[in-house]
Amino acid sequence: MAKELKLMKGNEAIAEAAIRSGCDGYFGYPITPQSEVMEYLMAEKPWERTGMVVLQAESETSSINMVYGGAGVGKKVMTSSSSPGISLMQEGLTYLAGAELPAIIANVVRGGPGLGTIQPSQADYFQATKGGGHGDYQLFVLAPATVQEMYDFVFLGWEIAFKYRNPVMILSDGAIGQVMEKLYVGDYVPRWTDEELKKNAPWASYGKPANREHHIITSLELDSAKQEEHNHKLQAKYREMEEKEVRFETIDCEDADYIFVAYGSSARIAQKAIQLGREKGIKVGLLRPITLFPFPKKPIAEFSKKVKGILTVEMSAGQMVEDVRLAAEFRCPVEHFGRYGGIIHTPHEVLEALEEKIIKAK
Amino acid sequence: MFNPDIVKPENLVYKRTDVLTKAVMHYCPGCGHGTTHRIVAEVIEEMGIQDKAICIAPVGCSVLAYNYFEVDSLGAAHGRAPALATAIQRLFPDHHTFTYQGDGDLAAIGTAETIHACNRGENIVIIFINNGIYGMTGGQMAPTTLIGMKTATSPYGRTVELNGYPLQITELLAELPGTYYVTRQSVHTAAAVRKTKRAIRQAFENQKNKKGTSFVEVVSNCNSGWKMTAPKANEWMVENMFVKYPIGDIKVDGEKVK
């Protein structure tokens, strides 16, 4: 694959990836700090090059339901938004999960609660990984830490979404959305032809040919016995994801006495804190979850047997720390540190928290 | 006198359409949904567009419409059908995407989706059943409930003071430049059925010619929700509903009917 070097904002990388990955439709609504996604698409006019549909909807409620419609007919469709807009989409997300529809939803998280602020945050972890809407369901959640990953995870997102017939959320934050970095982009993947669509999404409601029964896309099943059966099927799918699709990265963990667990922007800040710590003789490493659901429970459980303590670093009051504690099962101290409400912690603050909450507290 | 010798395919003058499934409909006897379903299905059959027709079912009495139309279908969240239809028709511009919605779905919770789809002039067909009540959930007040009408949530009759005015959403939509065809019909007599069929045919023909949004309201009775017999409900509909919701074309070929 030919690689081309570009300099882009994270939000623009998502848009460029949409065009290059053969996306059929993007439906969005402006909200800071992710508006560049749709701005970039509207300026690029991909409908003239690839036939991709781009539409500004009247609300996030509408854009997620446009995604539901497009996904239901087997097309590769996506949307993006930021925290308050994603809250408004929760209805659509649970319908997508219930009807088992593939789609990509990018959340460029900002500080909350409520209208909150427009600065970066990671306080939507619970909403993204624990359902968010009603009913027992899971989104597949990818957490990019670089502009390159904003781009790459759109491609990976389609693969996962269609493989499991499940909505995929790309959970980033205002920092990754706004920062400009270099990234490599690859060749254009053509949009699916009608024949490819029928092959890749044989379940979809793309128009009934004479030789088959009609297809119905719905999350409704009034017979509760059948609805329970459907739920069993969903749960089995989520367990399969946990079995096969966990992704994470470890940095400087080989000799580590302590580890940080952090994703996205916080993982990058933690990397600098590792450097500062090691300069002071503190052997600390980083485990960076790349998939937040499925969560890397096993590697965290393994580390909890070896290290003296774990500090989760999140721009929230402490959300992922709950999953880390469940994985560590009290085998070592697990504490949380994070600034929130739109404030980004510094590497010095992170290291200081490790010293105060873990090392000195022992 | 029954003569079995004449029962031959060449003598057939009327039959069920294959665009309806053989599922038994759950609608109340005397309700307009069954008739309207059949009309839509017949139009799809006659135009030869079954392979391109996509039905968007709402939430409400017709939530299970996808079990009856033998076309590929999607069940939408409450009120969101026009958003689904917008995306599908743009992604498959030669298809025939239509929504089938009731008054609560279209004129209350889905007002934003309805108005904006119509205002963008999406090339979709919207079939709107207006019976002035929430039938499925047990007869609560709808945005189209008439003043004085008793429902489960307006047990002493709807009042302007408490509930505001009945919403004439169809007239409102006709004001938008994106709507190409807006009409109000009914299915309570054979003559009305024929007119409604012409209207629905016109809507799908407009879509074929990429004219923008075609909107067909069908004023119907809800005899169980209104707590009347079916014939009595039809009489009441003519005497009361048709006054607030007069039957006829409102906008044809993009022009308001004078």
Hey, are the CB atoms on A65 and B67 less than 8 Å from each other? no
Band (pLDDT 50/70/90 cuts) for residue B7 is confident
- Asked, for residue B110, whether it belongs to a domain, the answer is yes
Question: Residue B188 is part of which domain span?
Answer: 15-256
CATH number at residue B168: 3.40.50.970
Cα separation, B94 vs B51, whole angstroms: 11
| Beta-bridge mates of residue B57 | B75
CB A270 within 8 A of CB A260: yes
Which residues in chain B (63-92) have CB-CB distances under 8 A to chain A? 63-64, 66-67, 69-77, 80, 83-88, 90-92
Hey, are the CB atoms on A208 and B50 less than 8 Å from each other? yes
Hey, are the CB atoms on A25 and B75 less than 8 Å from each other? no
Band (pLDDT 50/70/90 cuts) for residue B128 is very high
Band (pLDDT 50/70/90 cuts) for residue B1 is confident
Opening angle at CA B22, ends B18 and B28, nearest 5? 115
Identify the H or E element spanning A8: strand A4-9
- B24 has a chain A CB within 8 A of its CB: no
Mean pLDDT throughout A316-333?
Answer: 98
Domain count for chain B, please give it. 1
| From A27, A204, A207, residue closest to B87, measured CB to CB | A27
Residue of A nearest to B113 (CA): A62
Does CATH place domain A248-359 in 3.40.50.20? no
B-chain residues within 8 Å CB-CB of A208? 50-51, 53, 70-72
Cα separation, A27 vs A44, whole angstroms: 15
Mean pLDDT throughout A244-261?
Answer: 98
In percent, the amount of chain A with pLDDT more than 90 equals: 98
Residue A271 has pLDDT above 80, yes or no: yes
B-chain residues within 8 Å CB-CB of A73? 54, 72, 74, 88, 91-92
| Beta-bridge mates of residue A110 | A120
| C-beta atoms surrounding B203 within 10 Å | 27
| From B67, B70, B72, residue closest to A207, measured CB to CB | B72
Hey, are the CB atoms on A69 and B87 less than 8 Å from each other? yes
- Asked, for residue B6, whether it belongs to a domain, the answer is no
Cα separation, B28 vs B10, whole angstroms: 34
- Asked, for residue B10, whether it belongs to a domain, the answer is no
Band (pLDDT 50/70/90 cuts) for residue A362 is low
User: A326-352 burial, b if ≥16 CB within 10 A, otherwise e?
Assistant: ebbeeebbbbbbbbbebebbebebbbe
Lowest mean pLDDT among A150-164, B9-23, B56-70, B121-135: B9-23
Quote the pLDDT of residue A1.
55
Hey, are the CB atoms on B56 and A217 less than 8 Å from each other? no
What are the residues of chain A with a beta carbon less than 8 Å away from any beta carbon of chain B? 24-25, 27, 53, 55, 57-59, 61-63, 65-70, 72-73, 75, 77, 91-92, 95, 99, 204-210, 214-220
Cα separation, A340 vs B174, whole angstroms: 49
| From B67, B87, B112, residue closest to A25, measured CB to CB | B87
Opening angle at CA A66, ends A64 and A72, nearest 5? 105
B85 vs chain A: nearest CA distance in angstroms?
7
B77 vs chain A: nearest CA distance in angstroms?
7
pLDDT digits (tens, 9 = 90+) for A301-313: 999 999 999 999 9
Q: What are phi and psi of A342, to 5 degrees?
A: 105, 0
Residue of B nearest to A92 (CA): B77
Residue B2 has pLDDT above 90, yes or no: no
Quote the pLDDT of residue A84.
98
B-chain residues within 8 Å CB-CB of A92? 77, 80
B71 vs chain A: nearest CA distance in angstroms?
5
List chain A domain ranges.
4-198, 248-359
Band (pLDDT 50/70/90 cuts) for residue B138 is very high
B-chain residues within 8 Å CB-CB of A65? 76-77, 80, 83-84, 87, 113
- Asked, for residue B8, whether it belongs to a domain, the answer is no
CB B101 within 8 A of CB B74: no
A-chain residues within 8 Å CB-CB of B69? 214
B-chain residues within 8 Å CB-CB of A216? 66-67, 72-75
Mean pLDDT throughout A19-35?
Answer: 98
Quote the pLDDT of residue B3.
87
Does CATH place domain A4-198 in 3.40.50.970? yes
Strand duo B140-141 + B133-134: pairing? antiparallel
Residue A108: strand, helix, or coil: strand
pLDDT digits (tens, 9 = 90+) for B172-227: 999 999 999 999 999 999 999 999 999 999 999 999 999 999 999 999 999 999 99
Size of interface A-B (CB pairs under 8 A): 126
Nearest to A128 by CA among A168, A179, A80, A187: A168
B5 vs chain A: nearest CA distance in angstroms?
32
Residue B92 has pLDDT above 70, yes or no: yes
Which residues in chain B (102-131) have CB-CB distances under 8 A to chain A? 112-113, 116
Hey, are the CB atoms on B92 and A72 less than 8 Å from each other? no
Hey, are the CB atoms on A68 and B67 less than 8 Å from each other? no
Find how far residue A358's CA is from the centre of its chain.
Answer: 29
Q: Locate tokens 């022992």: which residue?
A: A362
| From A57, A67, A217, residue closest to B74, measured CB to CB | A217
| Spatial CB neighbours of A286, under 8 Å, sequence gap ≥ 6 | A249, A250, A251, A252, A253, A259, A260, A261, A262, A267, A270, A271, A274
pLDDT digits (tens, 9 = 90+) for B25-45: 999 999 999 999 999 999 999
Quote the pLDDT of residue B14.
87
| Beta-bridge mates of residue A53 | A25
Identify the H or E element spanning A55: strand A53-56
Mean per-residue pLDDT of chain A: 97
Residue B130 has pLDDT above 90, yes or no: yes
Mean pLDDT throughout A153-179?
Answer: 98
Mean pLDDT throughout A258-277?
Answer: 98
Quote the pLDDT of residue B258.
85
| From B51, B87, B112, residue closest to A70, measured CB to CB | B87
Residue of B nearest to A94 (CA): B77
